[in-house]
């Protein structure tokens, strides 16, 4: 079964909008695990506009499933990861002012940099993943960095699926096959939702994990967190 890691950035956004501690981020993380989520993902940004660096430190005390921290590996981010030692760190090349992640790594151009960062994390016992487009050359470049996994950037698939075009799944299928043959674990994320997740899961071989945040929280406004998590788990079987 493909595992579900829930990104709780939007819970932090809601909390920060009014100050105080409502909703309680730590309780939501624990509740999500109780509802069946197999992981908790956060993506702290330099301006801490949603997840704060202190949140990451406090979450290590309550998360009992897989803890995944995403972000651009600048010095502050690297220090945070080494201090908190999550199960997995996902390297994302987002700009400081990016609203959300919008591209995968150029694993050829940045190969030496990625290799050095990954070595640091793996020396400290932290599993690594690189956010990449469904591009064969980028997959091959990722394999040369010694990363454990890749995370396929799925926005293009999600956008085409919404428009009734299922053919855009093909590059992801090919990318997953190449990645698996190169010894890489396969994760995926970005704009996956209850409507498109089953088709994606059914077609992508050896898919280990999906990370879903924005859509899951939006869907939960109508159906509730517990119901939505269970719906994703059913579709990922």
User: 24: part of which helix (H) or strand (E)?
Assistant: none
Whole-angstrom Cα distance, residue 140 to residue 107? 8
* Catalytic residue (one of 33, 66, 70, 151): 70
Residues facing residue 38 across a β-bridge: none
* Catalytic residue (one of 151, 190, 209, 219): 190
Distances, alpha carbon 10 to alpha carbons 7, 86, 172, 226, 237, in Å: 8, 20, 27, 16, 26
Report yes or no: 217 and 228 within 8 Å, Cβ to Cβ.
no
Reference 211, options 184, 236, 182, 174; nearest CA is: 236
Report yes or no: 5 and 39 within 8 Å, Cβ to Cβ.
yes
**214 in catalytic set:** no
Task: Take residue 167 and report the two structure tokens written for it.
Answer: 């053919």
**190 in catalytic set:** yes
**43 in catalytic set:** yes
* Catalytic residue (one of 43, 50, 66, 151): 43
Catalytically active residues are 43, 70, 190
């Amino acid at each position: 079964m493909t595992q579900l890691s829930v990104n709780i950035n939007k819970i932090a956004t809601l909390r920060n909008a009014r100050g105080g501690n409502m909703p309680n981020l730590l309780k939501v993380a624990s509740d999500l695990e109780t509802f069946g989520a197999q992981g908790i993902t956060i993506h702290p940004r330099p301006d801490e506009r949603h997840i704060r660096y202190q949140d990451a430190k406090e979450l290590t005390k309550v998360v009992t499933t897989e803890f995944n921290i995403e972000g651009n590996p600048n010095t502050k981010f690297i220090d945070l990861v080494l201090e908190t030692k999550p199960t997995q760190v996902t390297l994302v090349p987002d700009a400081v002012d990016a609203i959300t992640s919008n591209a995968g790594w150029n694993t050829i151009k940045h190969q030496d940099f990625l290799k050095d960062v990954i070595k640091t994390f793996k020396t400290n016992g932290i599993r690594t993943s690189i956010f990449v487009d469904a591009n064969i050359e980028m997959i091959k470049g990722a394999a040369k960095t010694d990363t454990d996994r890749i995370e396929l950037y799925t926005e293009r698939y999600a956008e085409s699926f919404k428009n009734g075009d299922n053919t855009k799944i093909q590059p992801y299928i090919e990318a997953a096959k190449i990645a698996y043959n190169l010894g890489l674990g396969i994760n995926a994320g970005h704009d996956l939702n209850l409507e498109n997740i089953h088709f994606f899961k059914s077609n992508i071989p050896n898919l280990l994990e999906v990370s879903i945040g924005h859509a899951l929280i939006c869907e939960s406004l109508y159906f509730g967190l517990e119901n939505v998590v269970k719906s994703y788990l059913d579709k990922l079987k």
